[in-house]
Amino acid sequence: MINIEIGNNFRGDIEIILITDFKKIPKKEAEICALQGFSGKSGEFIFLQNTKKFYFALKDSSIDCIRESGALIVRILKKFNIKSASIKGFNDSQKNYALILGILAGEYEFNTYKQKSNKISLKNIYIIESSNKFVNELKKVKVVANSLNLVREIVNTPPEDCTPIKLSSIATKIAKEVGLECNIGDLKFIIKEKMQALLAVSKASPNEPRIIELSYKPKKPKARVVLVGKGLTYDSGGLSLKPADYMTTMKADKGGGCAVLGIMKCIAELKPNIEVLGIIGAVENMIGGNAYKPDDILASREGISIEVKNTDAEGRLVLADCLSYAQDLKPDYIIDLATLTGACVVALGEFSSGIMGYNEKLKREFEQIALNCGELMALLPFNRHLEKLIESKNADVSNVSSSRYGGAITAGLFLGKFIRDKYKDKWIHLDIAGPAFVEKEWDINPYGASGAGVRSVVDFILNLEDKAK
C-alpha cells in the first residue's frame, strides 16, 4: 500500500495540482497546456516535465468527485517512473479523507495469478496540510482502505483456492492478526444447529460448509450489532443450472461474507465501544446425484418449512439459517449483506445496493450514512402484495416468487419470514449484487471486486458509538 504522510513542508518527485477552473493555471503554464490539448475538462491530466507539475481537472470540488479523482490519479501515476508525489490538502477533514481513500483504494489491482505483474515505483504521497486536525482521521482511512482491499482480494480469489474451509482459514488468520475471537462451526456443528436449509445447498459439493463466527467484545459496549454474510464461495446454480455466461463471475457470490470479514477487521482496529459479532455462512452450491432438488421441502433452523422451486435461489436459504442463529445472540441491530439477486441489479443498476427491512427510520438513516461515505444505495419498499408471491401450497414459504417482477424485494421478504417479531425493527437487509463485482473500473473501484458494504456498515457502527456518547 502507498505510504501517505501529512505535513506542511513535504516535497515529492512531482507536485499534483487539482483544478476545477483552467483559468487558475499560471499564464505561461496554461499556454503550454493549451498547446498540448489540455483544456481542463473533467478527468483530463497533463504532466509538465520542466516544472514537475501534474495537473488533474476535476468536475467540481465535491467530496464524491475528490474521492474518485484520488483513484484516477494513482492509476495514472502507477504508469510513470515516479517514486513520490505531493498534493495540497483541502483544510477540510472530509475532503482530505475522501482524497486519501481514493488514492489507497485506487491503487489496488488483482494480479496474484499473473506471472508478470507491473511493478509500481510510486511509494509515497505527501498531503501538504498545515492543520493537525486530520491526524486522527488518517488512521481511520488507512484502516478502512486496507480492509477494503483485503475484501477485494478474497472475493477475486478463484473458487478452487477459496472453498468454505479455506475461507474459514482466512477468517481465522485475520482474527489472530487483529485480536478477534473466532469460532468455526464444522459439519457436526451445523447438523447440531439444525441448519437444514444451509445443509441442503451444500449437499452436492465435495467441499464441506462452515459457519464462521467472529466476535469483537469491548468491556462495556453501548450496543450489540450482529452482521450476517452470504459466503457462497461458488454458485453453479445447482440443478437449476446457470447459463455459462452467468457462471464465470460466481466466485463473487461470497461478496457479502467477505464484506463481513473486512468490517470485523476494521472494527477490531478502530475499537469502538460497540460489540460486533459476524456470522458467515460459507457454502458451495454444486450439482451431483445427491444435490437438493426443485420440489424438495426443507426444514429451516427457525422451524419454518421451505418449498424449493429453484436451486439457484440458494443464498436466501443459507441466510435464513444464519439469521436464525444470529437472533439467538440477542442483537440490538442485525445487518445482513448478500449478493442476493440479479433483480436488484435490474432495478438499481450495477453501482447501487438495495436496502430493505421493516423499520423505515432505520433504513433511511443507513441510506444517508452510506451516501455520505460514498457508497450508492437506495431503498426498496416491502409491500403486502409482493409478499403473497412467495406463498406456497405445500410449505410455509416458497424460496422464489411466482412472478418474474420485484425479485429483489420478494427475496428480502423471504428473509423477513425468518426474522422474529421482536427483531423486525432492528434488521436491515443489504442486497449488494450490483456493486460487489463489476467487470470494469468505476469510481474508486478496479475491475472485479469492490468491497461493497464495508464503508457504510463501519460508519453505521461508529455512528452508533457517537450517538451513545
Q: How many other CB atoms are found less than 10 A from the CB of residue 205? A: 22
Confidence of residue 339 (pLDDT cuts 50, 70, 90): very high
pLDDT for 129 equals 81
Q: What are phi and psi of 232, to 5 degrees?
A: -75, 100
Residue 69: Cβ within 10 Å count: 26
Domain 3-132 has CATH 3.40.220.10: yes
Strands 333-338 and 353-356: unpaired
Average pLDDT over residues 444-457: 98
Average pLDDT over residues 333-345: 98
Terminal alpha carbon distance of the chain:
34
Q: Which of 137, 144, 158, 42 is nearest to 102 (CA)?
A: 144
d(CA 375, CA 370): 5
Q: Which fold, 143-468? A: Aminopeptidase (3.40.630)
The residue to which cell 511493478 is assigned:
119
Beta bridge partners of 443: none
Look at residue 444 and tell me whether its pLDDT is greater than 80: yes
pLDDT one-digit tens code per residue, 62-110? 999 999 999 999 999 988 889 999 999 888 889 999 999 999 999 999 9
- Alpha carbon of residue 390 to chain centroid: 28
Confidence of residue 417 (pLDDT cuts 50, 70, 90): very high
Q: Which of 153, 113, 127, 164 is nearest to 262 (CA)?
A: 153
Residue 87 and residue 425 in contact, taking contact as beta carbons nearer than 8 Å: no
* Predicted local distance difference test score (pLDDT) of residue 267: 98
What rounded mean pLDDT belongs to the chain?
95
Of 115-124, 270-279, 374-383, the one with minimum mean pLDDT is: 115-124
Given 53, 242, 309, 417, the catalytic residue: 242
State mean pLDDT over 437-455.
Answer: 97
The pLDDT value recorded for residue 12 is 87
Residue 359 predicted with pLDDT over 90: yes
Query: For residue 280, which of 264, 306, 260 has the smallest C-alpha distance?
Result: 260
- For residue 125, the model assigns a pLDDT of 93
Looking at the predicted structure, is the pLDDT value of residue 113 above 80?
A: yes
Lowest model confidence (mean pLDDT) among 120-124, 143-147, 292-296, 378-382: 120-124
242 has catalytic annotation: yes
Strand pairing partners for 46? 55
pLDDT score of 302: 98
State the cell numbers at 361: 427510520
Q: What pLDDT score was predicted for residue 313?
A: 98
All three cell numbers of 457, joined, read 456498515
Cell numbers placing 170 = 482466512
> 52 — alpha (psi -120 to 50), left (phi > 0) or beta?
left
Q: How many helices (H) and strands (E) does the chain have?
A: 14, 19
Cβ contact 331:223 at 8 Å: no
Distance, CA of 316 to CA of 299 (rounded, Å): 14
Cα–Cα distance, 195 to 325 (Å, whole number): 9
Of 468 and 361, more confident: 361
The per-residue pLDDT for range 196-216, each reduced to its tens digit, is 999 999 999 999 999 999 999
Could you give the CA distance from residue 196 to residue 462 in angstroms, rounded to a whole number? 35
Cβ atoms < 10 Å from Cβ of 75: 17
Question: CATH 3.40.220.10 in the chain, residues?
Answer: 3-132
Q: How many CA atoms lie within 13 A of 320 on its CB side?
A: 33
Buried b (16+ CB within 10 A) or exposed e, 283-313: bbbbeeeebbeeebebbbbbebbbbbbebbb
pLDDT in tens, 228-270: 999 999 999 999 999 999 999 999 999 999 999 999 999 999 9
Which DSSP string do the residues of 98-123 spell out, in sequence order?
HHHHHHHHHT----TT-SS-PPP---
% of residues, the chain, pLDDT over 90: 90
Q: What is the CA radius of gyration of the chain?
A: 23
What amino acid occupies position 405? Y
Listed in sequence order, the residues at least 6 apart from 34 whose beta carbon sits closer than 8 Å to its beta carbon are none
- Residue-wise pLDDT for 2-20, tens only, equals 999 888 776 789 999 999 9
Residue 95 is predicted with a pLDDT of 94
| From 230, 316, 426, 455, active-site residue | 316
pLDDT at 119: 75
What single letter denotes the amino acid at residue 12?
G
What is the average pLDDT across 376-392?
98
Burial of 142 (C-beta count, 10 Å sphere; 0-12/13-18/19+) = middle
pLDDT in the model for residue 57: 96
Confidence of residue 137 (pLDDT cuts 50, 70, 90): confident
% of residues, the chain, pLDDT over 70: 99
User: How many C-beta atoms surround the C-beta of residue 422 within 10 A?
Assistant: 9
Which sign does the torsion angle of CA 395, 397, 402, 404 carry? negative
Lowest mean pLDDT among 47-61, 313-327, 342-356: 47-61
